[in-house]
Amino acid sequence: METALAKTSQQRQVVFLTMLLLLWVSGSEAIKYSVPEETESGYLVANLAKNLGIRVGELAARGAQIHHRGNKELLQLDAETGNLFLKEKLDREVLCGATEPCVLHFQIILKNPVQFFQTELQLTDINDHSPEFPDEKMLLKIPESAQPGAMFPLKAAQDPDTGSNAVQNYTVSPNLHFHVVTHSRSDGRKYPELVLDRALDREEQPELTLILTALDGGAPPKSGTTTVRIEVVDINDNAPQFMQSLYEVQVPENIPLDALLVTVSARDLDAGIYGNIAYSLFQGDGDSQPFVIDEVTGKIRLSKKLDFEVTPSYNMEIAATDGGGLSGKCTVAVQVLDVNDNPPKLTISTLSSPIPENSPESVVAVFSVFDPDSGDNGRMVCSIQNELPFLLKSTLENYYTLATERPLDRESRAEYNITITVSDMGTPGLTTQHTITVQVSDINDNAPTFTQTSYTLFVRENNSPALHIGTISATDSDSGSNAHITYSLLPPQDPQLALASLISINVDNGQLFVLRALDYEALQAFDFRVSATDGGSPALSSQALVHVVVLDDNDNAPFVLYPMQNASAPCTELLPRAAEPGYLVTKVVAVDRDSGQNAWLSFQLLKATEPGLFSVWAHNGEVRTTRLLSERDVPKHRLVLLVKDNGDPPRSASVTLHVLVVDGFSQPYLPLPEVALDPTRDEDYLTLYLVIALASVSSLFLLSVLLFVGVRLCRRARAASLGGCSVPEGHFPGHLVDVSGMGTLSQSYQYEVCLMGESGATDFKSLKPSIPTILIPDNYMLNS
């Protein structure tokens, strides 16, 4: 059946180019085999692998299939050996009828790549049928006036065999009056006519019985017989004659029952009963003709439905017989016209689903189309939806492959419903649709994707071990095992960060846990990377950054730097009795290892010997006087200060201050606090002490003399001048006093004091501080 080319704006049409894929046989001719009919099943037809020129094992590897248009499995292929066998006994007359030659068409389909091979199997006829007459007895009326040489037609025998195995000759039983002559029709079939050799005499012999035998051309020939009874009738001079010897009629196959096809007409010149004509179907192509004839009017009507696909034409012999037994014949040829009454048929031979994504031009299906109608009614156009990424390609006659136009993406679309539409070119056109579902299988072409490129997690210090601090999440657009994600920690970039002892991750859901308690003062924040890996092969992965911030907890009390609380002797501050209100006595310096508001320190005076004499500034820890000192105020004061942070709950520390009120720094008694010596340093200074002792013994006498001379000279000079410099006796305390009322006091100070002559112990001439360096730990923050 031919393939038509059609294009519309709505659908993509397939260009029916006959493009045969590479065949290993020479040219593009079909592979032809020949087998006699009625051969037993299992008969070895041929070795297909040898004929195709391919290896034996390749047929099985490429999934060789045999497809027959009628969908009846007549042949069987052993893919392992390549042998082609008959699956059942084949009857040529059943499969092909009167068609000669009887050729069955098969297609061999191979996959990977898809290839088609056209195969033809010809069934040769054997003489397996005997001729058969339509009637066991025939009646022939011959007038006695018939002259020798007159010919009388007889009904022909039927033989389903073809060629030389069909009816070849007729014979009649020996008699004195007749012999039989065999004639050929235009289609090659034989029919008999009885020839009169000797005149008949009704009075002598009114009736004769002959045996007519039909012989075919087989070896040995087969035969069939019928009885011909001849009645000798009285004289009837004229036989009926038809107006036409051949009537040709064309009728559509869908003509309704009882429809009038044609009217035949004959006339007889005789009068009376010899002129009365009766019409009858003398003989047709078979026993069951779909026609009837009115014996009086000669009208031929349809008695059974016509089917062009079963029988495209009919030939009938019509007899007109008069009352005297004479008859005439004519032929009626009925040509059945095809109408488009059969929709196309679609047969799927191979369907591959699912199709791996990203595979270029994968063959999805192999199918064939068939329309038993003829002409334009049998020409077909195949198409699929226009928006799909698939193409139809023509291969052998009416065989097509459905293939992908481009690589598919499962993540974009995982399933396609493809409707194959087959339309014929008849009027009106008939359409067949077949929908196939193609699944797209996943391959691992997408790496996991985190919901965020980086995560910031917060955890408060002093947390409980194995605390869940957050969850990271990744998605994978693949499916199945390709989308199964496992999480893992990547080695930290900082080699000093022991990540394995800090963090753990749930490999299945990405939950993060802190393994031990964190200390903000030791570790404020740290970073690490997390990997998400899918289960594909090869596996794909992606990374995300996790930033963990440790939140401070108020777990450290304030620490007092000055005055030192761990000294062996209490800290004593000097306060001049003449100090003005607001005089800075000292400044408490404290730090807090916490951060933020947990490190905001405030100072408070808890206890004091004279509560109204001193005050402390809450934000900087400065201790100042609130009024002038009086004679009634005690010389020694003890102050207890509270240093408190701003945490929740707050933490605090207390510090004790000793304040000594002095009338002036020249007064003889200024107690020097005992300084506890570090016993571990004695050994370090032992050698130094010995050297100093030896040097002191050597120079002691010289120093004593020089001192004596100096004192004497000083006294003389003072008496002669207005005033002089005197050095106060005794050791001046090592603790410091800010006489200006400003600034911050340190841990240790030394002063050189020069008093004016005759000034007593209250006036300073000069004051020169010597400030040592105080070492403060890095982790502490001074509150100034």
pLDDT digits (tens, 9 = 90+) for 341-395: 889 998 888 888 888 888 877 888 888 898 888 888 889 999 999 888 999 888 8
What is the structure's pLDDT at 129?
86
What is the structure's pLDDT at 347?
87
**Cα–Cα nearest to 539, from 443, 410, 441:** 443
What is the structure's pLDDT at 141?
86
Distance CA 163, CA 765 (A): 157
What is the structure's pLDDT at 33?
86
Q: Collapse the DSSP code of 29 into the 3-class scheme (helix H, G, I; strand E, B; otherwise coil) and give the result.
A: coil
**Cα–Cα nearest to 368, from 404, 338, 395:** 395
- Through-space distance between the first and last CA atoms of the chain, rounded to whole angstroms: 105
Regarding beta strands 431-441 and 355-356, do their DSSP bridges make them parallel or antiparallel, or are they unpaired? Answer: parallel
What is the structure's pLDDT at 211?
94
- 367 Cβ neighbours under 8 A, 6+ residues apart: 346, 347, 348, 349, 399, 400, 402, 420, 434
Say if CB 183 and CB 157 are below 8 A apart.
Answer: no
What is the structure's pLDDT at 25?
34
- DSSP annotation string for 345-413: EEEEEEE--SEETT-TT-EEEEEEEE--S-GGGG-EEEEE-TTSSEEEEE-STTEEEEEESS---TTT-
pTM over 0.75: no
**H helices present in 434-575, as ranges:** 499-502
List, as own/partner pairs, every contact residues 324-327 make where C-beta atoms lie below 8 angstroms and the sequence separation is at least 24, other chains included.
Answer: 324/143, 324/233, 324/234, 324/235, 324/236, 324/270, 324/273, 324/274, 325/141, 325/142, 325/143, 325/231, 325/233, 325/236, 326/141, 326/143, 326/236, 326/238, 326/239, 326/240, 326/268, 326/274, 327/239, 327/240
Instruction: Kindly report, residue by residue over 286-345, the tens digit of the pLDDT.
Output: 556 899 999 999 999 999 999 888 888 888 889 999 888 888 999 999 999 999 888 999
**Cα–Cα nearest to 109, from 77, 74, 80:** 77
What is the structure's pLDDT at 322?
87
What is the structure's pLDDT at 489?
93
**Dihedral sign (CA 225, 230, 236, 237):** positive
**H helices present in 177-243, as ranges:** none
**Cα–Cα nearest to 348, from 28, 65, 3:** 65
**Cα–Cα nearest to 175, from 205, 145, 143:** 205
What is the structure's pLDDT at 632?
86
**Cα–Cα nearest to 573, from 650, 639, 520:** 639
Residues of the chain short of pLDDT 50, as ranges, are 1-28, 666-681, 683, 722-784
Q: In what order do the strands lie in the sheet with 486-489?
A: 454-460, 541-551, 525-533, 486-489
Count of CB atoms within 10 A of residue 199's CB?
A: 12
Instruction: Kindly report, residue by residue over 388-411, the tens digit of the pLDDT.
Output: 899 988 887 788 889 888 888 888
What is the structure's pLDDT at 757?
38
- 315 Cβ neighbours under 8 A, 6+ residues apart: 284, 285, 331, 332, 333, 334
Stated as kind and residue range, the H or E segment containing 181 is strand 178-184
